[in-house]
Amino acid sequence: MKGIKILERILIVIPTMLAIAILVFVLMRMMPGDPVDKMMGESGNVSIEEIQALEKEFHLDLPLFEQLKIFITGIFHGDLGVSFQERKPVWNIIIERLPATIELALGALIFSLIVAIPIGVISAVKQNSLIDRLGMAFAFLGISAPAFWLGIVLIIIFAVNLNILPVYGRSIFAYKPVHITGMYVLDSILSRNWLALKDSLRHLILPSISLGAAQAAVITRILRSSMLEVLRADYVTLARTKGLSEYIVITRHALRNALIPTVTVIGLQIGMLLGGNMIIETIFGWPGLGRLVVTSIFNRDFPVIQGAVMLYALIYVTANLIVDILYTYLNPRTTL
Amino acid sequence: MAELYITKKDSSKIIKYNKGKMCWERIKHFLKELIQCHTAFLGAIIVLSFILIAIFAPFIAPHDPLKASIINRLQPPFWIDGGNINYLLGADEIGRDILSRIIYGSRVSILVGLVTVGISGFIGTLLGSFAGYYRGRFDATLSRFADLLLSFPYLIFAIFLMSIVGPGFFNLIVILCFKSWVNFFRLSRGEMISEKTKEYVEAAQALGVSDLKIIFKEILPNIIHSILVLATLRVGYFIILEASLSFLGLGIQPPTPAWGSMINAGRAYMLSSWWVSTIPGIALLILVLSINLLGEGLRDILDPRLKLE
């Protein structure tokens, strides 16, 4: 019974993605501004033949329905079209930029977990103490500060005034590691290039903090409230009466159960992390997918927009799906 | 026609107090609880101050926010060398007074936050209540549509739509509402579904009370608390979202002062004149922080056992 429901949920992804594809397609065609014009650099002095040649090349002269058909059949073959601006296949462009975005999202996630889990646990264990109040104050600040402003402030403090961290980019060219996965930190570890590791970490810190601060705040609060609930439960009292040390009670018994709703939230945040980092990427000059999407929208580069948005939607939908399925296994009382 | 007044809180003290009391006495009770909760009170005071500042902006602002004065460009705030009292918080890249622009910018932020939450809250709650009560195909289609809207990252969606319809205040509100009604929809739908199983609804149905009356007079007053808390928390979120869009150049267009575009304009001068970006952000931080404090306090007052996402 459960298996069928899971299958149903997975299969619904396909029509959802199709609906998104059509929606994106229609929305883009509604945007003012001519892609051919932008391709020509908006110079205005091009011949009719050149315009027509470009239109033919990118199927822009076909009726809308035909274009939609080409796009959708292309998806099933893994062909997302060719970028208007760069004349490269969209798939290649996206794959080039994807590791940077994933690295940033992972960095933000790791930062938020490192910060949130200790603070959430300690705040719950020592409720209403100074640490608790400070932790909650920090959580409030994290939610209230806009990420882009935080990024700018961090740059001003650390890069400009204190001069200990770089201002933008992923790495200094001399220290770029060998390309194995595309993620600089991972690549430098894999190729034992410690200078590159230090350099890429230095570049990763500030963007991760800006992006991860809000996530850390949310995770702290959810963890704290679920820990509070769990610590009042009977099995925790039992563990204590059994004579187990407080440390084991907290970590082995309470934390495990408190993490269940937290994992749900983290799963949803992953989708948001990947989707919401456009601004951070712009501020820090991070060559990722987000910046690609923003510049493509401004350049009316339809294939790239379509491909990138489809990818985002796929990641989002998949993350939600995994979280839903995971949750039914972790908490047997819920159904899909 | 029998009218049932049963409040959601089942602590007997509250029922005894509220039973039969006049509306304004309930409000007095609520205000008393608000004052006792320190964080909520602080949040409420700050939010009120911002609203007053926004309303009386022409009387409070020392300078005209649109008046550029190239001689004074990039002047630092008065506590730094080179600043003067005339430009309390410094001047931006074309010499406009930052303090005045912040004061006028609060109008934009507060208006956007309140109007967006108001409209989307109203529509979302209405649709959610009907969907939750009647269920069936109406509910199924709306929920599917809501899920579809949710599978887009918000910012991309907003950038898309703004590129199509163009910038401007009205367009901004419409686009923000386009996706935000979903949260209210899901909350009111969920609450409606769970309330509908309770006995007072069954009793009302048995008495022959019409469906509409049940929804609006019986169930809605009980779920309005959680909706109110969600609304308060979303205001801060939308203020930040508007600032993000203005930051990207897609929201309120210059020269109208908006905190997001002020932060963006200051980016070019990050290395030399940090105040152009930082100070509007601090204003934004304080406003959103106080709104969140107020929302949290409301949640504690209205129902301490309430759990929201």
Residue B264 has pLDDT above 90, yes or no: no
pLDDT (average), residues B182-194: 84
Query: Is residue A303 a contact partner of residue A81, using CB atoms and an 8 Å limit?
Result: yes
Q: Considering CB atoms only, which of B153, B161, B281 is closest to A153?
A: B281
- Mutation target vs B (from A152, A220, A222, A266; most B CBs, 10 A cutoff): A152
For residue B11, tell me if it sits in a domain: no
pLDDT, position B99 = 87
What CA–CA distances, in Å, run from A223 to A70, A101, A265, B100, B210?
A: 47, 26, 10, 41, 43
Whether A312 and chain B come into contact, CB under 8 Å, resolves to yes
Q: Do B270 and A146 touch (CB under 8 A)?
A: no
- Mutation target vs A (from B109, B112, B156, B239; most A CBs, 10 A cutoff): B156
For residue B1, tell me if it sits in a domain: no
Q: Do A31 and B278 touch (CB under 8 A)?
A: no
- Mutation target vs A (from B141, B148, B151; most A CBs, 10 A cutoff): B151
Following DSSP, what letter does each residue of chain B receive, concatenated? -------S---HHHHHHHTT--HHHHHHHHHHHHHHSHHHHHHHHHHHHHHHHHHTHHHH-SS-TT---GGGTTPPPTTSTT--TTSTT-B-TTS-BHHHHHHHHHHHHHHHHHHHHHHHHHHHHHHHHHHHHH-HHHHHHHHHHHHHHHTS-HHHHHHHHHHHH-SSHHHHHHHHHHHHHHHHHHHHHHHHHHHHTSHHHHHHHHTT--HHHIIIIIIHHHHHHHHHHHHHHHHHHHHHHHHHHHHTT-SSPTTS--HHHHHHHHGGGTTT-THHHHHHHHHHHHHHHHHHHHHHHHHHHH-TT----
Number of domains in chain B: 1
- B66 Cα distance to chain centroid: 27
pLDDT, position B20 = 47
Q: Look at A144-148, A215-219, B18-22, B285-289 and tell me which has the smallest mean pLDDT.
A: B18-22
Q: Considering CB atoms only, which of A16, A140, A278 is closest to B148?
A: A16
pLDDT, position A85 = 75
SS (H, E, C) A66-90: HHHHHHHHHHHCCCCCECCCCCCEH
For residue B12, tell me if it sits in a domain: no
Min CA distance, B300 vs chain A (Å)?
Answer: 13
Q: Considering CB atoms only, which of A31, A140, A145 is closest to B164?
A: A31
Query: Is residue A270 a contact partner of residue A317, using CB atoms and an 8 Å limit?
Result: no
Q: Considering CB atoms only, which of A16, A141, A152 is closest to B263?
A: A152
Q: Do B274 and A148 touch (CB under 8 A)?
A: no
pLDDT, position A44 = 64
Min CA distance, A141 vs chain B (Å)?
Answer: 7
pLDDT, position B286 = 92
For residue B9, tell me if it sits in a domain: no
For residue B8, tell me if it sits in a domain: no
Q: Do B156 and A141 touch (CB under 8 A)?
A: no
Q: Do A16 and B161 touch (CB under 8 A)?
A: no
Give chain A positions within 8 Å (CB) of B289. 140-141, 144
Residue B177 — very low, low, confident or very high, per pLDDT cuts 50/70/90?
confident
Give chain A positions within 8 Å (CB) of B244. 146, 148, 279
For residue B167, tell me if it sits in a domain: yes
Residue B119 — very low, low, confident or very high, per pLDDT cuts 50/70/90?
very high
- Mutation target vs B (from A11, A149, A296; most B CBs, 10 A cutoff): A149
Residue B276 — very low, low, confident or very high, per pLDDT cuts 50/70/90?
confident
Classify residue B182 as exposed, middle or buried by CB count within 10 Å of its CB (0-12, 13-18, 19+).
Answer: buried
Min CA distance, A155 vs chain B (Å)?
Answer: 8
Whether A70 and chain B come into contact, CB under 8 Å, resolves to no
Q: Do B289 and A144 touch (CB under 8 A)?
A: yes
Q: Find the closest chain A residue to B155 by CA distance.
A: A276
Look up the pTM and report it.
0.81
Q: Do B277 and A152 touch (CB under 8 A)?
A: yes
Nearest to B214 by CA among B229, B230, B192, B194: B192
Whether A14 and chain B come into contact, CB under 8 Å, resolves to no
| Distance separating alpha carbons of residues B270 and B235, to the nearest angstrom | 29
DSSP label at residue A91: H
Query: Is residue A103 a contact partner of residue A187, using CB atoms and an 8 Å limit?
Result: no
Residue B188 has pLDDT above 50, yes or no: yes
ipTM of the complex: 0.78
Min CA distance, B226 vs chain A (Å)?
Answer: 18
Residue B309 — very low, low, confident or very high, per pLDDT cuts 50/70/90?
very low
Min CA distance, B224 vs chain A (Å)?
Answer: 23
Give chain A positions within 8 Å (CB) of B266. 152
Q: Do B156 and A148 touch (CB under 8 A)?
A: no
User: Domain of B228?
Assistant: 18-308
pLDDT, position A114 = 92
Residue B101 has pLDDT above 50, yes or no: yes
CATH number, domain of B88, equals: 1.10.3720.10
pLDDT, position A1 = 65
For residue B51, tell me if it sits in a domain: yes
Q: Do A144 and B159 touch (CB under 8 A)?
A: no
For residue B13, tell me if it sits in a domain: no
Residue B1 — very low, low, confident or very high, per pLDDT cuts 50/70/90?
very low
Nearest to B305 by CA among B19, B9, B6: B9
Give chain A positions within 8 Å (CB) of B153. 271-272, 274-276, 312, 316
Query: Is residue A265 a contact partner of residue A112, using CB atoms and an 8 Å limit?
Result: no
Query: Mean pLDDT per 10-residue run, chain A (336 residues)?
Result: 76 79 78 70 70 73 74 73 78 85 88 90 83 86 87 84 74 70 76 80 87 87 83 82 81 78 76 75 85 80 81 79 72 55
